Structure 1
Amino acid sequence: MDQPECGGFGDVPVAKRRRCVEPAGAAAGIPEDIVEQILLRLPVKSILRFRSVSKSWRAMVADRRFVRLQLHHSTTATRRRPPSMLLLSDWRIPQERMGTICFFRYPGHGVVADLAYEMTWSSTVAAADENDAADWDAADDGDDTADWDTDDDGDADDNLDDAVDGDADDDWDINNGAIGLGRPVHCNGLVLLSSMENSSMMLVCNPATKEIAELPACTSDYFGVQAVGFYAEQSTGKTKVVHCFIRHCDETYTDYSVGCEVLSLGSPAWRPVADPPYLVMNRASPCILGGIYWIASLPSPPTGSCTTPGILRFDVCSEEFTSFPSPPFMERQKIRDVYGTLTELAGKLCYVHAPADDKVELWTASAAANDEGGGGPRWSLHCTVVLPHSFDTIFPFTYDYQGGIFFNVDCAMIYRYNIERGVVERVVDMLEEMTYFISSRYKLYRRDGEWRHHTIQYSESLLSVQAN
């Protein structure tokens, strides 16, 4: 899926330079602009390793301009290639690996997923030194199996268990898919993870560079959940998190107070902004064309009973909320009957509406302030997908270059909807069929317990989880 609002850099021209890099073995005499073009086409893992070739290569990779070029190349390349996606696996046994999330690469076909990064934490997660990010090989996809098996007994899972501090991890769980909480949010190669049990805790991670940081504590929510958006400022490229929270709310949704705050990565504290005018209902929200969108309960008190659903738009430039037109079917709903999801689909705002147990409708809007010809954005039915069975949750997460939409169903199955043929294709059962490799020689052994798998569209980047 394209994410134009998260790019923040536009088309970055490549400077015409012919200065040669300093001699470094076989690399001696290669013009710098040629080196740059070669490096830009490599995976992030390889780019980080090639920093050791010479001082000039290291300086090139560290340069902010190169980071922007790499991001631009990575995001545009996904439009012409098979989908790039990550599976986030979490084991739901308190005694086993609690507080561990594994990021697996999956090409969108077959039954094999390779480990990209394993993330564990204690009460506070220290951000990695960005200069040493390439040395974090414990969760690599190479043959560094010693990092996975410190007991040398051949059981690669032992080290996964030993690396976790179980007493400090009870606050974390990204997998309550049944009610849509804790869904990871991706922007420019960074992944935002939010806690379900402790509404003041969040993590941001770059699976490609293996950087991880715990964000400063945000304001706690009355219901203990988090409504977050993740975006890159268009003019500067700085990555920011916006957080809506409920100060208090009664059972009828008529007496409430809602607040909002923004954090720039690397900043020591959240900054308050204007309060939302209505009660925010959904959690992880997309950023599209300069706006973040939330399902809300209308109207605000004391004008009447809060029973009607609507949509709010948070402008990332002005940092103010405005009302946004709703899909036509929402006008006939009550707020307690709303189970929809907002996401992004091919550069448009998408409302995922499930009118039946086995059916989902995708409604899209331009998400622009004014369409050509006036009148503002309008919603239209993009497609209707009927699955071969009923489901509890369904979430479209990427749009491939061949015109197919991938769905995560119940945090367990991946389906693909072929728009041209109008048929649903079963891709893989992530619980029963998928083989998860932690290296080229070891696969992840599954024990009894509950697994859930989140899926996200993903583009690798060199962006730091610190200020960028």
Structure 2
Amino acid sequence: MMNHPGHGGDVPVAKRRRCVEPAGAAAGIPEDVVEQILLRLPVKSILRFRSVSKSWRAMVADPRFVRLQLHHSTTATRRRPPSMLILSDWNMPQEQMGTICFFRYPGHGVAAVLAHEMTWSSTVAAADGDGAADWDGAADWDIDDDNLEDAVDGDVDDDSNIDYEAIDRGLPLHCNGLVLLRSMEKYSTMLLVCNPATKELAELPACTPDYFGVQAVGFYADQSTGKTKVVHCFIRHCDKTCTDYSIGCEVLSLGSPVWRPVADPPYLVMNKTSPCILGGIYWIAGLPSPPTGSCTTPGMLRFDVCSEEFASFPSPPFMERQELGDVYGVLTELAGKLCYVHAPADDKVELWTASAAANDEGGGGPRWSLHCTVVLSHSFDTILPFTYDYQGGIFFNVDCATIYRYDVERRVVERVVDMLEEMTYFISSRYKLYRRDGEWRHHVIQYSESLVSVQAN
């Protein structure tokens, strides 16, 4: 082995190189400068740079750095083109699944690139699980009256006031870089939380089964503790007229082995997923209507994430003229406000927004206002706004198949891409992901990368 002269002894070259300090430290770069550089990198690069030195690894693992990176990622998203993920084929009818595919899409063009593919089993709570999920039957995408009747052995018939098909269909929820997915298979209690950037996946402890087999969940970060939590509403029992019923609620902190019961909702909760905005999670509810007391009147509830209690929330004005069965109800977040997606016609959608605060600047509590009206050139079954870009455009997922963009200033609808027929899904720079024939469903969500763990945080 050759020695290098002039360094005080016969030290092997290879061994001496292993002892060289990291380039940043050798150059005398201050630690706070290194921190600012790392904060501006993609999560994939940050994770790679953990191997540079023990100090860098400790810096990245520090909860303070995790919070700073999340803040930087969230604020940078507002100034850049939209960052979105396509959840390809999630919850397909009549398909057995044990895999989640996350594809990055920049909001233009016809190419989506695989961010990460995850597999799991019922006993695996990690991203590198070897097994596939144990799916006992077809995914239950549309829940019609016949399915509801089967769900309770005939206790609910075609006259039931609960029409889940008219309410939202269980959207994936995003919170601080984590994605919450619920199974749409009837009676399944499976809930998954994943971080596509860090490639973590956890299957949550089984929640309380719902009487109709349909789980209703919210996803939020507790600002007082910093913990990420899931809230779950479930029906204990309900007669066919929806006059005699009981509904419960429970909360799970990520990393906890059990769900914790909290205050019961006062009315039947109808939507399956709900956003958290300014300390509250919002639900479309079925209110008792005199003189029968049957839950036929639509209303809204707010779950305060601090007090963990429910309270009534003002409804948009058009809901006063509706029966519960006529509600096309989707709640989402739009530019920091609560957004209600109202479809008054087969080809038209209205976006109503409200301050989610208990009292707005003018006093008197939150008030709803019509944000915009979008008219498509064709009819649709579902239309879901999922992000608001920095140029004043709103992206929509229509029928879990096509992405549209509405320019609010110009009042123009632009067709972006058909995710079924036009999109090319790349699993690498050279290889495409080929699809079988079938009815595929694609969800799209706004997304910000983070280092937040799917375990206790």
Q: TM-score, normalising length from structure 1?
A: 0.84
Aligned to 2:135: 169
Does 2:198 align with 1:200?
Answer: no
Aligned to 1:64: 63
Of stretches 82-91 and 312-321 in structure 1, the one that deviates more from structure 2 is: 82-91
SS at match of 1:299: strand
Shift of 1:94: 8.8
Number of residue equivalences = 414
- C-alpha spacing 1:254/1:93, structure 2 compared with 1 (3 Å): closer
Q: Structure 2: give runs of 5+ residues left out of the alignment.
A: 1-19, 144-164
Contact 1:254 1:300 in 2 (8 A): no
Q: Tell me which structure has the larger Cα radius of gyration.
A: 2
- C-alpha spacing 1:200/1:115, structure 2 compared with 1 (3 Å): same
Point out which structure has higher relative CO (alpha carbons under 8 A, 6+ apart): 1
Does 2:36 align with 1:37?
Answer: yes
SS at match of 2:89: strand
Does 2:37 align with 1:73?
Answer: no
1:306-337 deviation per Cα after TM superposition (whole angstroms, max 9, x unaligned) = 11000000000000000000000000111111
Provide the rounded CA distance (Å) in 1 between the counterparts of 2:316 and 2:42.
40
Provide the rounded CA distance (Å) in 2 between the counterparts of 1:300 and 1:196.
30
Shift of 1:32: 0.6
Shift of 1:172: 8.3
Identity %: 85
Aligned to 2:50: 51
Residue among 388, 403, 418 paired with 1:414: 403
Does 2:163 align with 1:184?
Answer: no
Contact 1:122 1:165 in 2 (8 A): yes
Shift of 1:175: 6.0
Shift of 1:285: 0.1
Contact 1:299 1:305 in 2 (8 A): yes
Q: Structure 1: give runs of 5+ residues left out of the alignment.
A: 1-21, 129-135, 139-162
Does 2:288 align with 1:299?
Answer: yes
- C-alpha spacing 1:345/1:95, structure 2 compared with 1 (3 Å): closer
Shift of 1:195: 1.2
Shift of 1:300: 8.2
Provide the rounded CA distance (Å) in 2 between the counterparts of 1:100 and 1:424.
34
- C-alpha spacing 1:408/1:452, structure 2 compared with 1 (3 Å): same
Aligned to 1:361: 350
Contact 2:179 2:193 in 1 (8 A): yes
Shift of 1:176: 5.6
RMSD: 2.2
Provide the rounded CA distance (Å) in 1 between the counterparts of 2:346 and 2:39.
45
Contact 2:92 2:139 in 1 (8 A): no
SS at match of 2:45: helix
1:57-76 deviation per Cα after TM superposition (whole angstroms, max 9, x unaligned) = 00000000000000000000
Q: TM-score, normalising length from structure 2?
A: 0.86
Alignment of 1:14-413 (within 5 A): 23-25=21-23, 27-28=25-26, 29-90=28-89, 98-127=97-126, 165=132, 168-170=134-136, 173=139, 180-197=168-185, 198-299=187-288, 304-413=293-402
- C-alpha spacing 1:305/1:269, structure 2 compared with 1 (3 Å): same
Residue among 429, 444, 450 paired with 1:440: 429
Contact 2:122 2:203 in 1 (8 A): no
Contact 1:396 1:406 in 2 (8 A): yes
Runs of 4+ in 1 over 4 A off after TM superposition: 91-97, 171-179, 300-303
Provide the rounded CA distance (Å) in 2 between the counterparts of 1:181 and 1:94.
13
- C-alpha spacing 1:25/1:124, structure 2 compared with 1 (3 Å): same
SS at match of 2:36: helix
